[in-house]
Structure 1
Amino acid sequence: MKSTNPTTGETIETYDDHTESEIEERLSNAETAFEAWRERPVAERETKLAAVATLLRERTEEYAELMTREMGKPIAQAEAEVEKCAWVCDHYAEHAGRYLQDEQHASPPGSKVKTIYEPLGPVLAIMPWNFPFWQAFRFIAPYLTAGNVGLLKHASNVPGCALAIEEVFRDAGYPEGTFQSLLIPSDRVDTVLSDSRVKAATLTGSGPAGQAVAATAGENLKKTVLELGGSDPYVVLDDADVEAAATTGAWSRNLNGGQSCIAAKRFVVHDAVYEEFIKRFVAEIESFTVGDPMEQDTDVGPQARQDLMEGIHQQVAESVDAGATVLTGGEPLDCEGAYYPPTVLADVPPGCPVDAEEVFGPVAAVYRVSDEDAAIEKANDTEFGLGASIWTDDLDRGERIAGRIDAGCTYINELVKSDPRVPFGGVKESGYGRELSEAGIKEFVNPKTVWSQQPQTNDEDEVTIE
């Protein structure tokens, strides 16, 4: 397993995969750690998490540079990612106890009934490279604070990030085995997930990876949460603030080099504002600085790997061959590194790659529609259902349309984003389950009913109906 700088193609460092005996040791450590960790008061777990937030902020520069070296994220965006990880730790350090409070229920005289929330045990997380810290912290912060322990199988091109995340929890004083990274290839995941000591799994990644994890987990009756791909529609209606929609849309498509499941990917624009939107949208995209991701003023760096960049270009080339028009970009940059320029395609024919597939890079597909119903139809014309963005000056109209779009989350006059305070997840081929907020922390707990009944005070027979 090696870490390669996508800006230069140079190998940063090589890591040995964990051996069978090392994996066994980590599984055993997780099982042992869980028995003690689950008994710690929630308040104590919250305090530990707050310490992690402090360390993250102290090490922002170090961890941001590590992300940028391993997967090419512009340094300013990497610094923001570390801060977001600290924020999710702050959130659960403040709210986990309230989220996990016992829930009281109505009950007959002489009884008391409540639901308590108990952790499940070791949770395996299979995480991607595109947000190498945030994706991991999105699962770690709630699940560990609920009393579970974590095992992270990170993407093979960001092993340094995986070990750094393990380091920060160790340095914050978490007990040994509470959180561990597994440096293993994808073909070893099935064996780990099948192990009886692993009680649940969460995955952020591709559809095929999600299907494989869900199948193995289902065979072993283990709970899963899957956040898979997306082809998010960005709907601009006839009454939208076109300048704001174009500016935000350009950033939503190109943030993190376009390598985001919730990036705006299909821009569905009402005919009445189409020409103005295109003009502003292309101009905004062409203003982005593409270059060295270590420079603070860089907006778009390289793609995370050379093969990923080549795959994006193939999708673009095949779509152009099918009839799409390139408005800007469209060819790999002639320079060292896996650079693909921000690209806009119009006249996109149905069924071509940028229309039918997820494009995981800085490529926007723009569609002209005649009315609101056509916009909704095009927005839903995808197998995915992660997020959607709607732009209109009429918020009532926006909320009505949001109810007709098939997505796990919709944002009106805002780009789609994940936020610790609200549930996050998708529908259709974008997965199931929710992360973040109260819903997220309760995905991997046992909501146990506890019924307490006063002892009988007489000899009368009691008839029980089950």
Structure 2
Amino acid sequence: MSIRSINPTNGEVLQSYEPLTLEETTKAVDAAHDGFTKWRQTGFPERKKLMLKLASSLREHQEEYAKLISLEMGKRLEEAMGEIEYCAHISEFYANGAEEFLADQPMDIEDADVYIQYAPKGPLLGVMPWNFPFYQVIRFATPNIMAGNTCLVKHSGNVPQCAKAIGDLFDACGFPQGVFTNLLIPSEFVPTIIENKKIVGASLTGSEGAGASVAGLAGKNLKPSVLELGGNDAFIVLDDADLKRTVKMAVKGRMVNNGQSCVASKRFIVVESLAKEFIAAFKKSVEAMKLGDPLDEKTQLGPLSSEEAAKRLEEQVKKTVDAGATVVTGGKRPDSDELKHGAFYLPTILTDVTPDMPSFDEELFGPVATIYVVKDEAEAIKLANHSSFGLGGSVFTKDLERGQKVAEQIDTGMVFINQPTQSQAELPFGGTKNSGYGRELSHLGIMEFINKKLIHLGKKE
């Protein structure tokens, strides 16, 4: 079956590709292994030169790549341009920092010379999602390639053009054969790749189910894995928050990437003294958003990534409303002639959601916000931690010390004060509980698939 690229704005089929056969996939793994034996011998200056060229090429083709993202998965062009720039920054970060991050570490041992060498392990498989089609791949590939590993990427089936463009980019920048490989394959091939003895580890960004599958296969084959899975981030509004700014951040935090971000703000936990004003202002803001073509600069909210995604979100909301939740605004697909052929969903606010309702502990991957009203700070913390997920979160208050104390009690991988959760090359990114394990970005991100090898030079005479 061919892999199709479909424009979610209008349902148009853009391209169709024939996937690799299993035999071709195995040959690609062999090539990545052969490439590793040579790539690991290169020095940091050589790797750095190629990675900086990749960063420069990303910027040179920024508009071309951004338009491809918008056409293939519906991201607004402005956000897509930002994604490509961020990819260039990450590439530069690891190009310039890898040698320092992986420098030999002397051990303070009496009467002996001992150090830790940070050595590459080998070919890695990355299973990547569609919501940030360039960023997710660059986040996985650049640190590992700078460390001396090689990378094979099985990208999401609905962004094959982005996947191909990334593979072509690495080739055009002069990376040797096998260092980066785009695998245009069905998901059914993933277990075979992980079980291949030449693959030394796997990284996945995606759903809980996919993560559990990859982790199980990796564990069974005694291979390390990194998982960045779903999120249900709490956005806590304390009674002393700056309401005007907080609402602005709430809209930004929920509607980024058309609501399709693992670290988007999803559960808005508001102390009751501000709840009425917050809900009214939030409602007014999202109802004013203009839905439309992501290539149109006037558009503020584009389509979901696919018709399937829109239907799934529609069903989740319906089940929750049928169970007794209140729709403050939205709660359905738009019915205008302009939008009815695309994968659009109206910006939505739900209230009165209780723990027994379907969406209470599910990730709503789209422009749907759930608002919970609590009596005080303690109840806000308790509700924030009442989740199977633990990726990010945020706390809004004028008192920074108070916000810090609350943040330290939130059981997630990341908490931000007075801003929604965000990604930054210099900062570690990852979660806990059902949101996965391991860290990407920062100096920690380059350490996940490294052999921390002890070298003991013997006792001093």
TM-score category by the smaller chain? over 0.9
* Residue 372 (structure 2) pairs with residue 400 (structure 1): no
Is 1:12 the counterpart of 2:17? The answer is no
What displacement does 1:298 show? 1.4
Partner of 2:365: 360
Match of 1:209 in 2: 210
What is the Cα deviation at residue 373 of structure 1?
0.6
Q: Which residue of 2 aligns with 1:270?
A: 271
- Tell me if 1:438 matches 2:440: no
Q: CA deviation at 1:317?
A: 1.2
Q: Provide, for residues 333-382 of structure 1, a one-character-per-residue CA deviation record: whole Å limited to 9, x for no partner.
A: 11221110111111222222231211011000001000011000110111
For 2:460 and 2:79, locate their aligned partners in 1 and report how far apart those are by CA, in whole Å: 61
Deviation at 1:94, TM superposition (A): 1.5
Out of 338, 351, 355, the position equivalent to 1:350 is 355
**Who is 1:461 aligned against?**
none
CA contact (8 A) 2:201 2:223 kept: yes
Q: Give aligned pairs, total.
A: 455
1:459 is matched with none
Distance 2:190 2:355 in 1: 36
Aligned to 1:412: 417
**Aligned-partner Cα distance in 1 for 2:40–2:330:** 53
Offset at residue 385 of structure 1 (A) = 0.3
Q: Deviations over 1:50-100 (max 9, x none)?
A: 110100000011111111111111111111111110010111112111111
Structure whose CA Rg is larger: 1
Q: Which residue pairs with 1:229 in the alignment?
A: 230
- The amino acid of 1:436's aligned partner reads L
Take 1:47 and 1:76, find their aligned partners in 2: how far apart are those partners?
29
Question: Could you tell me how far apart the structure 2 residues matched to 1:97 and 1:276 are?
Answer: 51
- Residue identity (%): 45
SS at match of 2:415: strand
Whole-angstrom distance in 2 between the partners of 1:108 and 1:142: 34
Structure 2 residue corresponding to 1:102, chosen from 101, 104, 119: 104
Give per-residue Cα distances to partners, 1:116-139, cap 9 Å, x unaligned: 100010010000111111111111
Q: Any idea what SS the aligned residue of 1:3 has?
A: strand
- The alignment partner of 1:292 has SS state of coil
Give the TM-score normalised by structure 2.
0.97
Contact 1:247 1:280 in 2 (8 A): no
Distance 1:454 1:380, change over 3 A: closer
Deviation (angstroms), 1:454 = 5.3
- Alpha-carbon distance, 1:21 to partner: 2.4
Give the Cα separation in 1 of the matches to 2:194 and 2:253.
35
2:215 and 2:354 map into 1 onto residues whose CA distance is: 33
Aligned residue for 1:132, secondary structure, equals: coil
Higher mean displacement: 90-99 or 190-199: 90-99
1:80 to 2:82 alignment:
yes
State which drifts further: 234-243 or 292-301: 292-301
Paired amino acid for 1:435: E
Pairwise CA distance, 1:287: 2.3
Which digits, 9 at most, give the CA deviation of each residue in 1:309-339, with x for residues without a partner? 0111111111111221111111101122111
Which amino acid letter does the alignment assign opposite residue 378 of structure 2?
A: D
Q: Which sits farther off after the overlay, 265-274 or 282-291? A: 282-291
Partner of 1:29: 31
Partner of 2:71: 69
Deviations 1:271-304 (A, max 9, x none): 1111111122112212222101111221211111
Contact 2:113 2:460 in 1 (8 A): no
Matched letter for residue 376 of structure 1:
I
Give the corresponding residue for 2:296.
295
- Counterpart position of 2:455: 450
Q: Distance in 2 between matches of 1:333 and 1:354?
A: 21
Pick the aligned partner of 2:44 from 42, 45, 54. Answer: 42
Asked whether 1:381 is paired with 2:382, we answer no
Q: Which residue identity is paired with 1:58?
A: E
Partners of 2:352 and 2:306 in 1: CA distance: 29
Equivalent-residue separation in structure 2 for 1:217 and 1:224 (angstroms): 6
- Quick one: which amino acid aligns to residue 303 of structure 2? P
Structure 1 counterpart of 2:313: 312
Residue matched to 1:130:
131
After superposition, give the CA deviation of every residue in 1:94-114 in whole Å (9 maximum; x if it has no partner).
2111111111111222x2111
Q: What is the letter of the counterpart of residue 118 of structure 1?
A: A
Are residue 162 (structure 1) and residue 163 (structure 2) matched?
yes
CA distance in 2, matches of 1:86, 1:354: 36
Q: Which residue of 1 aligns with 2:342?
A: 337
> C-alpha separation between the residues in 1 aligned to 2:326 and 2:22?
52
Cα separation, 1, equivalents of 2:108 and 2:439: 28
8 Å contact kept, 2:22–2:189 = no
Q: Which runs of 5+ in 2 are unaligned?
A: none
Residue in structure 2 matched with residue 193 of structure 1 by the alignment: 194
Equivalents in 1 of 2:359, 2:368: separation in Å? 8
Q: Would you say the 8 A contact 1:124–1:198 is kept in 2? A: yes
RMSD across aligned positions (CA): 1.0
Q: CA deviation at 1:20?
A: 2.1
| Unaligned 5+ runs, structure 1 | 457-466
TM-superposed deviation, 1:455: 7.2
Tell me the residue number matched to 1:141.
Answer: 142
- Residue 122 of structure 1 contacts residue 200 of structure 1 at CA under 8 Å; is this kept in 2? yes
**Paired position in structure 1 for 2:61:** 59
SS in 2 for 1:374: helix
**Ranges of 4+ aligned residues in structure 1 off by more than 3 Å:** none
Question: Is residue 237–residue 269 contact of structure 2 (8 Å, CA) maintained in 1?
Answer: yes
Q: Which amino acid aligns with 2:76?
A: P
Name the residue aligned to 2:4. Answer: 2
- What SS does the corresponding residue of 1:13 show, helix, strand or coil? strand
| Mapped contact 1:385–1:427 kept (Cα < 8 A) | yes
Match of 2:260?
259
User: Secondary structure at the residue paired with 2:406?
Assistant: helix
1:394-440 Cα deviation digits (max 9, x unpaired): 11111111111110000000110111101110000000000011110
CA contact (8 A) 1:354 1:365 kept: no
What displacement does 1:44 show? 1.8
Q: Is residue 237–residue 392 contact of structure 1 (8 Å, CA) maintained in 2? A: yes
Confirm or deny: 8 A CA contact 2:414 2:430 kept in the other structure: yes
- Looking at structure 2, the residues matched to 291 and 351 of structure 1 have their Cα atoms a distance apart, in angstroms, of 35
